């Protein structure tokens, strides 16, 4: 078998081995527990298990809950977990401390952010621009937030978003990376355009944080949300986060003013006085087991630069696309992920016929990606634990299926 460029598979396998040997991040794989014999390219859906998480949660359950009981709330690490873990995420999204708080699901945080944005927006503006290709929950929640704040949702292709922003635009909700295609949007330029139009920006970072630099502070983003169970490896359904830029914190008016966001929660006063800082984004009692599992998982990022992760991510997706071109017969798959680096996230999405059956076949052969309706094979490249040999094997296995 040889590809259009005349490369034999042996060349690619040797190249992969050499790339893995030279990879400075390669040793980070030891920070994770992965099953033997599996190529895991679905870390953009559920990140792998970091070492240390199981032992930490065993300690939390047996000692902090079972033995220390209620005293873990008053004297332990529990109460401040949302802001402490938020600050552990901050460097990954380019945020100075004190602007990020962890808790609730992405959908719930998006509701806080969008209603908060509508209340920060200039009076009289009526439109909420929303990425038309967004992950569905963002669109559903945007409709609800708009309905409850008197705005109207206008779906927009992110390519056209800058042009659509005008003096009637109150809020702009965009995804940094599109969940289906893996397309990376220009956060800096789109945020600048929104600011020029006087609109408040809300960015969804679910598919970018932990895979590439975000630069929330640098680019002047107003509000952002993201999940932690993809590239941040927090575990199934681990709590999401909310970023509130420091300049907006005093005026941020949450639709979910739970007692955890109160300035003096244990005073238990009937009137709500929001806490200073991002803490006002808290709502109810944080789910400690999921929260502290995330905290332990974030230890895998110790000493890791997001820039190095981005460089490896691009090298991995470049190499995977090269291997797919070499191994898969022409015409059987089509990449819907942009080829240009500046428009590519950390995944490769291939359109093909019978995509669901093809993915099932791949999984049965030990290559785990996922299927997204109606016709997309999605392969996520998580540089902390995926290597070049994984990319080569995945493409080679795909070639066998079409061979």
**Binding-site residues for pyridoxal 5'-phosphate:** 106-107, 135-138, 204, 207, 229, 259, 285
By CB under 8 A, the residues from 33 to 52 that bind a second copy are: 33-35, 38, 40, 42, 45-46, 48-49
By CB under 8 A, the residues from 198 to 227 that bind a second copy are: 227
- Choosing from 164, 304, 308, 363, the residue that interacts with a second copy (CB under 8 A) is 363
CA atoms of 390 and 94, how far apart (whole Å) = 29
Residue of 32, 40, 111, 135 marked active site: 135
DSSP 199: P
- Choosing from 26, 98, 215, 257, the residue that interacts with a second copy (CB under 8 A) is 257
Residue pair 129/172 in contact (Cβ under 8 Å)? The answer is: yes
DSSP 272: -
> Can you list the positions of beta strands (E) in 48-166?
49-50, 100-102, 127-131, 152-156
- Choosing from 61, 162, 304, 308, the residue that interacts with a second copy (CB under 8 A) is 61
Tokens of 373: 């309706």
Q: Is 195 a catalytic residue?
A: no
Helix (H, G, I), strand (E, B) or coil at 53: helix
Q: Is 231 a catalytic residue?
A: no
Residue of 378, 381, 385, 393 marked active site: 378
Question: Which residues touch 197 (CB under 8 Å, ≥6 apart)?
Answer: 165, 166, 167, 169
Total site size for a second copy, rule CB under 8 A: 83
Residue of 230, 280, 344, 372 marked active site: 230
Tokens of 40: 């895991």
Q: Which window, 17-25, 83-91, 278-286, 394-402, contacts a second copy (CB under 8 A)?
A: 278-286
Nearer to a second copy among residue 19 and residue 376 (C-beta): 376
The C-alpha angle 294, 297, 300, rounded to 5 degrees, equals 150
CA atoms of 140 and 137, how far apart (whole Å) = 5
Q: Is 7 a catalytic residue?
A: no
CA atoms of 119 and 303, how far apart (whole Å) = 39
By CB under 8 A, the residues from 147 to 176 that bind a second copy are: 148-149, 155
Nearer to a second copy among residue 14 and residue 73 (C-beta): 73
Catalytic residues: 135, 204, 229-230, 378
């Amino acid at each position: 078998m040889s590809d259009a460029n005349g490369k034999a598979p042996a060349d690619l396998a040797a190249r992969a081995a050499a790339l893995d040997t030279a990879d400075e991040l390669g040793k980070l794989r030891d920070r994770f527990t992965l099953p033997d014999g599996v190529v895991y390219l679905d870390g953009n859906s559920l990140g792998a298990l970091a070492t240390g998480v199981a032992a930490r949660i065993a300690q939390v359950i047996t000692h902090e809950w079972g033995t220390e009981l209620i005293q873990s709330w008053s004297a332990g690490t529990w109460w401040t977990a949302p802001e402490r873990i938020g600050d552990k995420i901050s460097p990954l999204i380019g945020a100075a401390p004190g602007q990020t708080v962890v808790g609730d699901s992405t959908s719930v945080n998006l509701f806080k952010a969008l209603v908060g944005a509508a209340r920060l927006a200039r009076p009289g503006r009526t439109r909420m621009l929303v990425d038309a290709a967004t992950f569905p929950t963002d669109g559903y929640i945007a409709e609800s937030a708009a309905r409850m704040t008197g705005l109207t949702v206008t779906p927009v292709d992110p390519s056209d978003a800058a042009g659509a922003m005008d003096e009637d635009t109150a809020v702009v909700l965009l995804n940094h990376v599109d969940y289906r295609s893996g397309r990376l949007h220009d956060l800096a330029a789109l945020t600048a355009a929104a600011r020029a139009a006087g609109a408040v920006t809300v960015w969804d970072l679910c598919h970018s944080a932990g895979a590439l630099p975000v630069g929330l502070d640098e680019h002047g983003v107003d509000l952002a949300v993201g999940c932690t169970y993809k590239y941040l490896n927090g575990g199934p359904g681990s709590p999401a986060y909310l970023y509130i830029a420091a300049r907006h914190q005093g005026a941020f008016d949450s639709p979910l003013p739970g007692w955890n966001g109160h300035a003096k929660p244990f005073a238990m006063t009937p009137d709500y006085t929001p806490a200073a800082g991002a803490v006002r984004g808290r709502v109810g009692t944080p789910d400690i087991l999921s929260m502290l599992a995330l905290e332990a998982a974030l230890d895998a990022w110790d000493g890791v630069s997001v820039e190095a992760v981005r460089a490896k991510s691009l090298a991995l997706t470049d190499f995977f696309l090269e291997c797919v071109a070499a191994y898969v017969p022409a015409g059987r798959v089509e990449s819907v992920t942009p080829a240009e680096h500046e428009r590519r996230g950390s995944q490769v999405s291939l359109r093909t016929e019978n995509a669901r059956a093809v993915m099932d076949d791949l999984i049965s052969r030990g290559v785990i990606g996922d299927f997204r309706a109606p016709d997309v094979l999605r392969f996520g490249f998580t540089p902390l634990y995926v290597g070049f040999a994984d990319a080569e094997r995945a493409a080679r296995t795909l070639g066998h299926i079409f061979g």
